[in-house]
């Protein structure tokens, strides 16, 4: 995971988090380097892998 993201000309930044193989929760924080009081915390939940091996059932066709 790249721990640093730079905003684009419109002020947007993006990050990807790989949850790994264990189920459970992971807390991720985004913050502005020059103003640490500006932050957002996200709680991600990794579910147990489907034993049938068919993936997570994501029907979002915008994935790259």
Report pLDDT digits (tens) over 6-16. 889 998 888 88
Q: What is the pLDDT of residues 9-53, one digit of tens each?
A: 998 888 888 888 889 999 999 888 888 899 999 999 998 877 665
Residue 35 lies in a domain: yes
Give 57 or 47, the one with higher predicted confidence: 47
Residue 58 lies in a domain: no
CB 28 within 8 A of CB 42: yes
d(CA 17, CA 1): 6
d(CA 48, CA 46): 7
Residue 21 lies in domain? 1-49
Residue 64 lies in a domain: no
Residue 63 lies in a domain: no
Residue 56 lies in a domain: no
Residue 33 lies in a domain: yes
d(CA 59, CA 32): 32
| CA separation, residue 40 to residues 14, 36, 37 (Å) | 13, 10, 9
Residue 61 lies in a domain: no
Residues 6+ apart with CB under 8 A from 51: none
């Amino acid at each position: 995971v790249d721990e640093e993201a730079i905003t684009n000309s419109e002020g947007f930044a993006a990050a990807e988090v790989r949850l790994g193989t264990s189920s459970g929760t992971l807390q991720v924080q985004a913050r502005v380097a020059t103003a640490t009081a500006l932050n957002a915390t996200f709680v991600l939940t990794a579910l147990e892998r489907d034993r049938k091996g068919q993936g997570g059932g994501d029907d979002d066709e915008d994935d790259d």
